[in-house]
Structure 1
Amino acid sequence: MIAAPLGAVTHLDLWGYRVPLKNPLRLGRRTIDERNGLLLEWQQAEGRVVWSEIAPLPEFSRESLQDCIRQCKGFFANPGFEDVDGLLAAVSNALAPAVRFGLESGCLQLSLPLPSPPPIRSCRLLDPDAPIPPDAATATCVKFKVGRGDLETDLDRIRRLLDAMEPRARLRLDANRSWSLEQATELCAAIDARRIDYLEEPLRPGLSYAGWADRTRIPFAWDETLRQDSLPDLDTPGLGALVLKPMLAGLAKTRDLVDQARVRGIRAVLSGAYESNLSLDFYACLATFWGLEGPHGLDTFRPFSMALLQPPRYLEDPVVRPVLGRDGLEHLDRLL
């Protein structure tokens, strides 16, 4: 049995969820119409319940949902720990990132009185295949995917977006590792650098960012690059932000990258990976607890047709959804 500072954990249950999406969601080469994931329910003796989530993202996570189920059952089959510290010490890189996140985030909630999820500034995430929505005109920060077609098409959409946005609003572009250095800097030269917050993952895997700062004033940001086997050089000139997805990296690694960004004066931006509202609420708590300024990349709840267990609490402008209660979950196992 795990003994936590806030009381003993009497039960730990593994649940599965399946939430239809309002519209099909394109993820890399794949399109999904529902989001599947796992929830860990940590029940304490005094009646307190903590939920944490395990939700690998198709096309971006190496582990499948079945891998995560097997790892959870195996981890607790012969537990050699008696408290939260012991559990965390047993969490190793042999576990998939999503499983590590579920265990680490559950333990953090058990161990610390985290703040309630505050309404938090999020960067408005636009669907690149849909018309520009009216609320983009009033958003202070907008994120838009580029690199799916030719540069001229991207430039036309960027210019129309900037024309629709307030002059002080900032645009974040995400190329998902689509371009050569020459293509990326050609696009940068054709847009107003003062309006661009950063260009996320512009270069194809394996290409060097060494000459980036000599070619453009627009900072670049790393996301997928941070999850490679070896960490890139965080002192590379031109690096402006680390986009951190705790579900895809694990919570401990995310915290380490936050610390490394802070000592270098680089922004750390928390970003969702289409998890449920439960994890997005948790990220809002983390942003406050870790002292991270926004806007963060937490505008990933819009495709969901339902919230899990409770309405989302982190949104400045609430997105109203029906709530899928406990009776809508699938009980998979009692782990403790």
Structure 2
Amino acid sequence: MSAIACYTYRIPLTNALPGPDGPISHRTGLLLAAEHPSGRTCWGEAAPLLGFTASLKTVTQAARDWQSEVNTLSADAAGHVTPYPSEAPGPLRFAIDQIGQQWAACEAGTSWHDWLNAGRSARSGNALWQTPEDRDMRQVLMALQAEHVSTIKVKVGRAPVEDDLDRLDALFASLPTGMTVRLDANQAWSVEQAHTICEAVQHRRALEYIEEPLVPDADLRAFVGDTSVPIALDETIRARGIDAVSDWPVAAFVVKPAWMGIRRVQKLAEQAGDVPVIVTSAYETGVGWRGTFATALQVTPPDRAIGMSTYQALARDIAWPPIPDAHGKLLTMAPGLFDNWTVDRDALEAVDRS
């Protein structure tokens, strides 16, 4: 019988996140540990986030249900686990998909890094932009560019449109040659507000795309067809599925493996055709971060930046050593990143299987 343990964690954030019931000051989640007969532990993280995914309580119950079904865990050469709860919440599928990859590596007698056939693959990351209050904006941007940051991601839609436009004008005026900008509205704008923004930025060559500009009940498909500004989808994919948007003329699909599962992201990438799939993190610990980064290397085009900087919001990690340079620099899949790490079990709380 394969021994599978389930733990919860709770770690502070450096800055609180906005949540549906008030600020979120701590990151909570679930870790699964599967003991392979070789003696290696295969770890997976389920990192739901209140307001965006199923609750931690729901994911934990689904994990218990899966544990009760597992008599003997196995994974094929592709890392696909049996039994697999295909209808389970996305965060749990993500954890199991991570375990499957590591289990397959154990079965092959190799490391997770070598099983991924990763070599020393690298990606540039996008950096979440915070307007500096006491430093020259141009100097800050040039310093980021010197650290291999190719893309700036700006959260918009949280302030009045006029304030967003003023902030964007200052950013584009200071942007070094070669850097691009992604705007993420998180479904904040009305159609009128979104058109106002698009008219103001449509001639900005450095603009890569605007992500999810419209409130959920607006006609996003019509808007995508009406505007000349590139539009990317994120929440819409999770809500409707790839089949519902496969013929939309969009610039990118933005996906979070931690909320969808690795296998589902891989399938989406196969269906996406020529539309690039941009992988982003979702405040995972170092356990889940590794699975997200591995997925990014598999599905995101090499010339597109990935979004892995949410890791910097964690005040500490439960995996050791910490992820180096996760805030947007050149991210490299070195062997040590995937094979020489441990989990601090003392920082975890075991979940009763009953």
- Quote the Cα distance in structure 2 between the aligned partners of 1:120 and 1:176: 24
Select the residue among 236, 241, 248 that pairs with 1:225.
236
Q: Deviations over 1:162-181 (max 9, x none)?
A: 22321321111011112233
- 1:160 — aligned with what? 170
Q: Secondary structure at the match of 2:294?
A: helix
Tell me the CA shift for residue 206 of structure 1.
Answer: 3.1
Greater shift in the superposed pair: 147-156 or 290-299:
290-299
Q: Deviations over 1:146-188 (max 9, x none)?
A: 1122211110111112223213211110111122333212211
Could you list the runs of 5+ residues in structure 2 that have no partner in the other structure? 106-114, 332-341
- 2:129 — aligned with what? 126
| 2:46–2:95 CA contact under 8 A, matched in 1 | yes
Structure 1 position 198 matched with structure 2 position 217:
no
- 2:157 — aligned with what? 147
- 1:280 — aligned with what? 289
- 1:185 — aligned with what? 195
Select the residue among 77, 91, 96 that pairs with 1:103.
96
Change (3 A) 1:284 1:154: same
Structure 1 position 23 matched with structure 2 position 34:
no
Change (3 A) 1:334 1:210: closer
| 2:29–2:45 CA contact under 8 A, matched in 1 | yes
Q: Secondary structure at the match of 1:30?
A: coil
- Quote the Cα distance in structure 1 between the aligned partners of 2:300 and 2:64: 35
Tell me the CA shift for residue 126 of structure 1.
Answer: 2.6
Structure 1 position 50 matched with structure 2 position 42:
yes
Select the residue among 205, 220, 244 that pairs with 1:209.
220
Matched AA of 1:236? W
- 1:5 — aligned with what? none
Q: Secondary structure at the match of 1:193?
A: coil
Structure 1 position 305 matched with structure 2 position 315:
yes
| 1:185–1:215 CA contact under 8 A, matched in 2 | no
Tell me the CA shift for residue 129 of structure 1.
Answer: 11
- 2:85 — aligned with what? 91
- Quote the Cα distance in structure 2 between the aligned partners of 1:214 and 1:72: 42
Could you list the runs of 5+ residues in structure 1 that have no partner in the other structure? 2-9
Change (3 A) 1:17 1:82: closer
Greater fraction of residues in helix = 2
- Quote the Cα distance in structure 1 between the aligned partners of 2:75 and 2:128: 36
| 2:180–2:208 CA contact under 8 A, matched in 1 | yes
| 1:220–1:240 CA contact under 8 A, matched in 2 | yes
How many residues are matched?
A: 318
Select the residue among 273, 277, 281 that pairs with 1:268.
277
TM-score, structure 1 as length reference: 0.84
Tell me the CA shift for residue 284 of structure 1.
Answer: 1.8
- Quote the Cα distance in structure 2 between the aligned partners of 1:308 and 1:117: 25
Q: Deviations over 1:226-282 (max 9, x none)?
A: 111454322212x00000011222222211111122x2x111000111111222222
Matched AA of 1:67? T
